[in-house]
Amino acid sequence: MEKVLFLKGEFVEKIWGGKRLKKDFPYQFESENIGEYWAISAMKDFPSKILNGKYKGENLGFLYKNHKEIFGNEKKEKFPLLIKLIDAGDDLSIQVHPDDDMAKKENSYGKSECWYILNEDEASIIYGLKTDDKNKALKMIDNKKWEELLNVEKSIKGDFFKVPAGMVHAIKKGSLILEIQQASDLTYRLYDYDRVDKNGNKRDLHLEKSKEAIKCLDTEKTHENLEEKMEILYDNEYFTVKK
């Protein structure tokens, strides 16, 4: 039996990144725009590195591919999880992720995720739509009627949100979030506030793919403050979250 393996994650710059990953955690980095810490990742671009034992210096993707026995009964071809800390110094884009069937067209997995809220001060998120009529939603997107379309929820430490593939969503300024998700970085942006990057360029939007991916899922709250509870929070074929 292998001893516990410790991992070193990767910091990822984002146009909306903040400073709380350095302030609230013992992390050191120089950039002023770190938006994400990919803590457990076998993704090609930002893989976690193994810090100890006979696999020291290898990355998690290599270990999963070549020594799957370490991971118990897991049979999936690729490591199925990506776990991040997200620091929103500004609003993230309004976006949606495809399900597995749609993602196959891009040789990827779909992306269902969930959020455990860490921010002590109240913030908010965009969480689904105000309508369950997809045709109506698509017309509102075409006419950029965002306030009429988007459902906004308050969020504070201890809240938990399921974000299945097909749900329109966005993390807003002031949020600090632990995100557990399928191992995919496939995101379709609907709207990005017309902002520009350091080179003066707007980020790409993916309107047609977004509109195809959208599912008008039930916007009934799937969270509550969980500070004193132990239960299964989210269970799908890729991961189970318990608290």
Report d(CA 205, CA 198) in Å as an integer. 17
20, 189, 195, 203: the catalytic one is 189
189 included as an active-site residue: yes
Lookup: tokens for 84 = 């991040």
Query: Which residues are identified as catalytic?
Result: 189
